[in-house]
Amino acid sequence: MITFENVSKIYKGHVEALHGATAVIEKGEFVFLVGPSGSGKSTMLRLINREETADKGRIFVAGKDIARLSSWRVPYLRRNIGCIFQDYKLLTNKTVYENVAFALEVIGRPRHVVKAQVPAILELVGLDTKTSNLPEELSGGEQQRVSIARAFVNRPLILLADEPTGNLDPATSVGIMRLLDRINRTGTTVVMATHDRSIVDTMQRRVIELDQGSIIRDQARGVYQ
Amino acid sequence: MKFDYVLRETMTNLRRNVTLTIAAIVTVGVSLALFGSTLLVGQGVDNVSQRWSDGIEVIAFLKSDVTPEQREAIEDFIEDSPEIGTWDYKDLEESREEALRLFERNEAMKAKIEGGTRIPDSYRLSPESKDVNLMRSLGEQLRAMPGVHIVTDESDSVKTITAVSAFAQLAMLVVGIGLLVAALLLILNAIRMAMFARRREIEVMKLVGATNWFIRVPFMLEGIVQGVVGALFALGALVALDRAMTSAAENRDYQTIMEGFVASSGEFRLTALVVVLLGVTIGAAGSAWALSRFLRV
- Best mutation site among A106, A147, A152 for testing chain B: the one with the most B CBs within 10 Å? A106
* Residue B71 CB burial class (10 angstroms; 0-12, 13-18, ≥19): middle
CA atoms of A137 and A143, how far apart (whole Å): 9
B212-243 burial, b at 16+ Cβ within 10 Å, e below that, comes to bebbbbbbbbbbbbbbbbbbbbbbebbeebbe
What are residue A136's phi and psi, to 5 degrees? -65, -15
Q: How confident is the model at residue B172 (pLDDT cuts 50, 70, 90)?
A: confident
Higher per-residue confidence, B198 vs B47: B198
* Residues B119 and B113: beta-carbon distance below 8 Å: yes
pLDDT at B49: 63
Q: How many residues are recorded in chain A?
A: 225
CA atoms of B13 and B18, how far apart (whole Å): 9
A30 forms bridges with which residues in the sheet?
A190
Of residues B113, B63, B297, the one with CA closest to residue B202: B297
ipTM, two decimals: 0.90
B207/A102 Cβ within 8 A:
no
For residue B54, pLDDT beyond 60: no
Q: Are strands A81-85 and A206-211 parallel, antiparallel or unpaired?
A: unpaired
Considering only CB atoms, A78 lies closest to which of B200, B203, B207, namely: B207
Considering only CB atoms, A75 lies closest to which of B5, B203, B209, namely: B209
Q: Is A79 on the interface with B (CB under 8 A)?
A: yes
Task: Residue B68: count other Cβ atoms within 10 Å of its Cβ.
Answer: 8
- Best mutation site among B13, B204, B213 for testing chain A: the one with the most A CBs within 10 Å? B204
pLDDT at A158: 96
Higher per-residue confidence, A91 vs B102: A91
Task: Residue B124: count other Cβ atoms within 10 Å of its Cβ.
Answer: 17
Of residues A61, A85, A46, A42, the one with CA closest to residue A4: A61
Helix (H) or strand (E) holding B178: helix B155-197
CA atoms of A68 and A50, how far apart (whole Å): 11
* Residues B107 and B264: beta-carbon distance below 8 Å: yes
For residue A79, pLDDT beyond 90: yes
Q: How confident is the model at residue B252 (pLDDT cuts 50, 70, 90)?
A: low
Of residues A189, A155, A28, A121, the one with CA closest to residue B209: A155
Mean pLDDT of B191-198: 87
pLDDT at B5: 76
pLDDT at B142: 82
Of residues B250, B272, B277, B280, the one with CA closest to residue B262: B250
Least confident of A4-13, B21-30, B36-45: B36-45
CA atoms of B281 and A193, how far apart (whole Å): 47
For residue A202, pLDDT beyond 80: yes
Taking only the tens place, the pLDDT of each residue in A137-171 is 999 999 999 999 999 999 999 999 999 999 999 99
Q: Is A106 on the interface with B (CB under 8 A)?
A: yes
Mean pLDDT of B241-270: 70
* Percentage with pLDDT > 70 across chain A: 100
Considering only CB atoms, B208 lies closest to which of A74, A78, A110, namely: A78
Higher per-residue confidence, A158 vs B249: A158
Chain centroid to Cα A152, Å, comes to: 10
Q: How many residues are recorded in chain B?
A: 297
Q: Which B positions 193-252 lie with beta carbon below 8 A of chain A? A: 200-201, 203-212, 214-215
Considering only CB atoms, A75 lies closest to which of B2, B201, B210, namely: B210
Task: Residue A149: count other Cβ atoms within 10 Å of its Cβ.
Answer: 27
What are residue A3's phi and psi, to 5 degrees? -130, 125
Residues 6+ apart with CB under 8 A from A49: A77, A78, A81, A83, A160, B207
Q: Is the overall model pTM greater than 0.95, yes or no?
A: no
* Residues B110 and B265: beta-carbon distance below 8 Å: no
Q: Are strands B84-90 and B148-152 parallel, antiparallel or unpaired?
A: unpaired
Residues of B whose CB is below 8 A from A150: 204, 208
Q: How confident is the model at residue B154 (pLDDT cuts 50, 70, 90)?
A: low
CA atoms of A89 and A99, how far apart (whole Å): 10
pLDDT at B48: 66
Taking only the tens place, the pLDDT of each residue in B121-133 is 888 777 666 565 6
Q: Is B117 on the interface with A (CB under 8 A)?
A: no
Rounded mean pLDDT of chain A?
93
* Residue B65 CB burial class (10 angstroms; 0-12, 13-18, ≥19): exposed
Taking only the tens place, the pLDDT of each residue in A111-147 is 999 999 999 999 999 999 999 999 999 999 999 999 9
B205/A105 Cβ within 8 A:
no
Amino acid at B35: F
Taking only the tens place, the pLDDT of each residue in B62-111 is 888 888 888 888 888 888 887 777 788 888 888 888 777 777 767 777 77
